[in-house]
Amino acid sequence: MLTIANLNKVWRPLMAIQYLVVCLFDFIILPILLGWYSIYTKSSYQPWIPLTLQGGGLYHLAMGAVCGVTSWGKSQERINSVSPAHDPDPELIQHDSKFTKNRH
């Protein structure tokens, strides 16, 4: 059963699968079906206009933003969840802070 706790874990892969299915239908499956339909009914072929490209492709821009931000967030979660087995070297931390101060 899909609970809120499980949904929090799987919403990213589900979002990617949803985007994959939408793209497959809009760019591959529906154009083929429309071509077969025009052959079956012996009518003139009407080219398929992808629904997700209407409006300047805003759907793909939005999905790219969602997928990009969530993948960045997931990588940040993984980085922050990893804890070192030993204390970091204080000299290394001091060197890093000098480097960041000099960059700005």
Angle at CA 46, nearest 5°, toward 57 and 36?
105
pLDDT of residue 12: 81
- The reply to whether 79 falls in a domain is no
- The reply to whether 17 falls in a domain is yes
- The reply to whether 51 falls in a domain is yes
pLDDT of residue 73: 74
For the chain, the C-alpha Rg in angstroms (whole number) is: 24
- The reply to whether 67 falls in a domain is no
- The reply to whether 103 falls in a domain is no
CB distance 38 to 44 below 8 Å: yes
* pTM recorded for the entire structure: 0.64
End-to-end CA separation in angstroms for the chain = 51
- The residue segments making up the domain with residue 50 are 10-62
- The reply to whether 55 falls in a domain is yes
Cβ-based neighbours of 22, under 8 Å, separated by 6 or more: 52, 59
**How do residues 32-41 score in pLDDT, each as one tens digit?**
999 999 999 9
Question: How many Å apart are CA 50 and CA 31, to the nearest integer?
Answer: 9
Structurally, how many domains does the chain consist of?
1
Cβ-based neighbours of 16, under 8 Å, separated by 6 or more: 67
Angle at CA 62, nearest 5°, toward 59 and 65?
150
The residue-averaged pLDDT of 88-95 equals 54
